[in-house]
Amino acid sequence: MGRILVCIKGVPKPGTVKVDKETHTLCRKSAELILNPPDRPALEVAQRLKDQANFEVIAISMGPPNMVPVLQKVYALGVDDIYLISDRAFAGSDTLATSRILAKALSLLSPFDLVVMGARSIDGETGQVPPETASLLNLPSITYVKEIRYVDGKFIAIREDDFGEEEMEFYPPAVVSIVPEIDYVRPPSLKRLLSIKEVTPKILTNAELNLDEASIGLSGSPTQVADVFEKTFVSRGEIFEGEPDELAEKLIEVLKEKGFLA
């Protein structure tokens, strides 16, 4: 049986995130986490390959302990196993340090045929981890995949490019990232939902990964935040108040004055 590893991320529920005032990184511990929405298609794509060619699907996430409930919910989607990669030493990692950690964890779970990730997270929004992790593992990366199938020992993926759509063929193992929105995602299994509280993820800490502390966390991150500042806008123009009708009339007047309306 082939193996697919899906890397997922927990992101702060919008409105609950706090930024650490000293390090300027996210306080993930304090936030309520939800599954990064662009990872949902990644999980669906893995399930489709499982349906198509009987792959084992393992969901893995790097995060703090409050990621466990998210992983349990992911188990209800039909994955075969769930892993949490967690260690205080990982906190504050930029995308390079994160990719190092993921690459090591994925190599511990090898051999595998495919690593699947969402195209980006809605908090960091860099989209860098899938290709960066692939590079560290010396594997090809195929980004913005819309659909993928397994045929005669090869993967065939349709991906979006700046100038059009590519149909790309490659042999396993490889890393793919999936576009944030696909046609449909299946609902969780009711049977599994009833039992998720009994399922616990396997935990990998740095004791198992054995990464040099200088290469992970804040110390392993070449990009550092030198400063943050709030974007303030000095009031630029006039603000009109009144009834919608008169204000709409005023806008038309302004647009005419500026030559934007005949």
- Among positions 4-33, residues that touch other proteins (CB under 8 A) are 14, 17, 19, 24, 26
Q: Does 153 bind other proteins (CB under 8 A)?
A: no
For residue 222, is the peptide bond before it cis, meaning its omega torsion is within 30 degrees of 0?
no
Q: Does 152 bind other proteins (CB under 8 A)?
A: no
Minimum distance from residue 244 beta carbon to other proteins (Å): 4
Q: Considering beta carbons, is residue 84 or 211 the nearer one to other proteins?
A: 211
Distance CA 60, CA 1 (A): 19
Minimum distance from residue 145 beta carbon to other proteins (Å): 11
Distance CA 201, CA 59 (A): 9
Minimum distance from residue 250 beta carbon to other proteins (Å): 7
Q: Going by C-beta distance under 8 Å and a sequence separation of 6 or more, which residues neighbour residue 178?
A: 38, 41, 42, 45, 116, 117, 118, 119, 144, 145, 146
Minimum distance from residue 73 beta carbon to other proteins (Å): 19
Which run of H or E residues covers position 160? strand 154-160
Listed ranges 41-49, 67-75, 76-84, 92-100: which one lies at the site for other proteins (CB under 8 A): 92-100
Distance CA 262, CA 258 (A): 10
Q: Considering beta carbons, is residue 128 or 189 the nearer one to other proteins?
A: 128
Which run of H or E residues covers position 257? helix 244-257
In the range 169-208, which residues lie near other proteins by CB under 8 A? 169-171, 174, 180-181
Position among 21, 191, 197, 258 found at the interface with other proteins (CB under 8 A): 258
Is residue 114 within 8 Å of residue 172, measured between CB atoms?
yes
In the range 50-89, which residues lie near other proteins by CB under 8 A? none
Listed ranges 39-47, 74-82, 106-114, 140-148: which one lies at the site for other proteins (CB under 8 A): 140-148
